[in-house]
Amino acid sequence: MSIKVVSTSPFADQKPGTSGLRKKVTVFQTPNYLENFVQSIFDSLEGFAGQTLVVGGDGRYYNRHAIQVILKMAAANGFGKILVGRGGILSTPAASCVIRKYNAFGGIILSASHNPAGKDGDFGIKYNTGNGGPAPEKITDAIYDITKSISEYKILEASDLDLDRIGESKLGDTVVEVIDSVADYAELMESLFDFDRIKLLIASPDFSLRFDGMHAVTGPYAQEILVNRLGAPASALQNCVPLEDFGDGHPDPNLVYAHDLVEVLYGDNAPDFGAASDGDGDRNMILGRKFFVTPSDSLAILAANAHHVPAYKGGLAGIARSMPTSQAPDRVAARLGIESYETPTGWKFFGNLLDAGKATLCGEESFGTGSNHVREKDGLWAVLFWLNVLAARQQSVEAIVKEHWQLYGRNFYSRHDYEGVDSDRANTLVNNLRNKFAELKGHKFGNYEVAFADDFSYTDPVDGSVSNNQGIRIGFTDDSRIVFRLSGTGTQGATLRLYVESYEPNIAKHSLDTQEALKELIEIADQVAQIKVLTGRDQPTVIT
């Protein structure tokens, strides 16, 4: 085996977004495209000679080929050992778990998360640091700078390895160990939750559940944890065979794309509890019988009930949420007498808070929830947390949520996604809003008066780093909010996200339909931003 140095030229479009580099598979198949980005990762790092690297992905098309390339390049660049998930598979939270458990230098995760897969689908790659979390901006910026001037990459000339057989092999001087993709993660979950109590709940004739893996990475994890360890019947799982094209579906666990699960939970003889996870296993959707739990409410309710879970019964250090997430978790933090933190979107912003012991639970409105057990959001963790709470409280999902609203008030909340919008039109919309900040303050729209309008800026309380232009906020005097963001997770055009929130303390109004309760604010948002005019859309693509 010899190290080959290959001459290459830069690509202009390799700037990582909030979750790494995501492009169409066909783009990654361009000669040297993947290799350039991988070499740029390695060139941005220092001190990894002889260290351990973790590699895995969500099993989507091109995953296996990319892993073989990464293994040979990591060996050529001097890593001492590489841990790779069997079959090339590791869910994103499991990869974080493995990085932390084995004190790895870092990890490369191959995923485009909730984006569609297949030969014509999306692919993604991101680097996670030694704490198990996504690389901070200073590292992703360094990677991008290198991609703009890269002239060569190093790769070992060697045959492909068998990724389906657990055990060790060699690539030059580098040890490659194929590990059980599920075992370490399952053991971690068992250490956090009261599995005995959850087993009793699942065994009860009065309780039933359904988990939808959306033909993505969590299928094997759900089989091992929910069925093998907790005793759920095999029929409790659906779409749990991972496929390279995710069954030609869109593995985004929301009310639109997880329609198979929604039909079951809103149908006749519905189960008591339903949940789904996404492409790489870091997101979750929670349902009760004919009842949907918003991700914002889910974070708040888990925080309020954390004392029921062994790992958190000693109390929480703090709660962190992304800026667009509703303010419901803040109300729980205030009652518990702990800090609440508002960060930009992107799990990497939670990493410093978790490492510094300032926060214990974190969440995003985009169906992501997690804690200090890893440094990624974690779909199955959230499912197990809910099952632990249900087992402890012996109430339905709906009853627990409604009791929470009675105690804290209800934050009516909805997200409207306009997907595949022309990028120029989307940027025009955002720029127009920025130019209106001064005139909006104090302006009255029907029952609402604007208290402030700004572009969210975040100063990290741990390292002092500043992140600007993180989303446009229009806040009203009654604590209602409208937020606009352009998403960085898509691969075509732009996705405009509109977030609308209104706080309602009156219990008599808690049963209102969410869209009806937010109707006036939604109309104000369109009036201010000219959404229909500039996007050319009469309706959002997805409403959650």
Residues with catalytic annotation?
113
Dist CA 13 CA 398 (whole Å): 46
Dist CA 388 CA 297 (whole Å): 17
Neighbour-count burial of 531, counting CB atoms closer than 10 A to its CB (0-12 exposed, 13-18 middle, 19+ buried): buried
Q: In sequence order, which residues have a C-beta less than 8 Å from that of residue 171 and are 6 or more positions away?
A: 1, 71, 72, 75, 82, 156, 158, 161
Position of tokens 């690509």? 11
Dist CA 428 CA 440 (whole Å): 18
Q: Give the distance from CA 299 to its chain's centroid.
A: 13
Helix/strand/coil (H, E, C) string of 336-374? HCCEEEEECCCCHHHHHHHHCCCCCEEEECCCEEEECCC
Closest to 215 measured CA to CA, from 276, 264, 125: 276
Dist CA 295 CA 284 (whole Å): 8
223-228 long-range contacts, Cβ below 8 Å, gap at least 24? 224/182, 224/183, 224/186, 225/186, 225/189, 225/380, 225/384, 226/202
Query: Tokens at residue 497, please?
Result: 């996200």
Dist CA 147 CA 135 (whole Å): 16
CB atoms within 10 A of CB 387: 25
First to last CA, the chain: 53
Dist CA 34 CA 70 (whole Å): 9
Dist CA 501 CA 342 (whole Å): 15
